[in-house]
Amino acid sequence: MKDKLNQIKEEALRQIRESKTLEQLNEVRVSQLGKKGALTELLKGMKDVSPEDRPKIGQLVNETRSEIEKVLEDAKKKMEAIVLEARLSKETIDVTLPAKSMKVGNMHPNTRALEEVEKIFIGMGYEVVEGPEIEKDYYNFEALNIPADHPAKDEQDTFYISGDILLRTQTSSTQVHEMEKGKLPIRMIAPGRVFRADEVDATHSPSFHQIEGLVIDKHITFADLKGTLAVFAKELFGEDTKVKFRPHHFPFTEPSAEMDVSCFKCGGKGCRFCKGEGWIEILGCGMVHPHVLEMSNIDPNEYTGFAFGVGLERIALLKYEIDDLRLLYENDVRFLRQF
């Protein structure tokens, strides 16, 4: 047994000396000390050793293992040092070369505008709700009091995927999903991407973003709508901003209005920015139509509400004085760096 141990040790030391790489050293460790290594195989023969000799043989085995492990570890450290020195010599850095500039990205104007709008409404107790971009005709039109023969359902305006499946043209569909849940009262805004078959130009795009708002509760009046949107305008465009409501028509609200804000560049005096009008159109709004409430199983005799919708890109264009909608989507770094 002692002779076999000496043979294993000598063979292991020879293999260590001949190893040129760390991988070869690991192979020596496995072949000599592993579960199926020579030393382990020798230990399996301990059952044939007399009981009185087993302690002595066990001590010799442990001494042999320790000696092989020590030589292996020393060889590994030397080889790692050689490998490190070789790598460092190849990776020598010329400190006289100019450093690489770190390019830090900026938030997109749309993202900045959306976060600002969300912060304003969350501060007023609203919830931010998202909905699907692929919708059923019912949620995009029918449940919003837009009948089958309404011009807005013309295929020239809407991207239809199949008979009653389409790309949503407004995030109002998200409001319908929330109303159907029956959890009242509701105070929410629904931001998201919408799609319409428009030609691309400085003010139109087939894909853009909307922020729709909805409040449903008992005793909600148009005064609540005006007060809410007045606060929103002041927070967004400045404390001196005034609002003006003009009668309009939307199928899902009655009465309906379009809201203008006083020009924040000239204070309403008239300038190039507001085209001399002193006012800038910003959003559409109105009291939720009783029929819309009924279709979502909400009693219009007990609950009332108001809704509004604003284009996110319109806010970004106004706040950052961008004169072409296409700049928001071209990903030109020279443009985006300004924000």
Alpha-carbon gap, residue 50 to 260, rounded angstroms: 104
Q: How many helices (H) and strands (E) does the chain have?
A: 11, 9
| The predicted structure's pLDDT at residue 337 | 84
Q: What is the pLDDT of residues 255-276, one digit of tens each?
A: 999 999 998 888 778 888 888 8
Q: Which DSSP category does 161 fall into?
A: S
Map out the domains of the chain as residue ranges. Answer: 2-90, 109-336
Contact of 308 with 213, CB cutoff 8 Å = yes
pTM, to two decimals? 0.67
Cβ-count burial 135-151 (b if 16+ within 10 Å, e if not)? bbbebbbbbbbbeeeee
- Amino acid found at 67: E
Instruction: Specify the CATH class of 109-336 in words.
Output: alpha beta
Alpha-carbon gap, residue 244 to 281, rounded angstroms: 9
Contact of 217 with 185, CB cutoff 8 Å = yes
Is the pLDDT score of 119 beyond 80? yes
Average the pLDDT over 310-336 and give the result. Answer: 89
Alpha-carbon gap, residue 170 to 133, rounded angstroms: 9
Mean pLDDT for all residues in the chain: 87
Alpha-carbon gap, residue 287 to 301, rounded angstroms: 14
**Strands of 253-262's sheet, edge to edge?**
127-128, 186-195, 207-217, 304-311, 279-288, 253-262, 243-250
The strand pairing partners of 210, in sequence order, are: 192, 311
Average the pLDDT over 296-309 and give the result. Answer: 96
Dihedrals phi, psi of 309, to nearest 5 degrees: -145, 135
Q: What is the pLDDT of residues 125-153, one digit of tens each?
A: 999 999 999 999 999 999 999 988 877 67
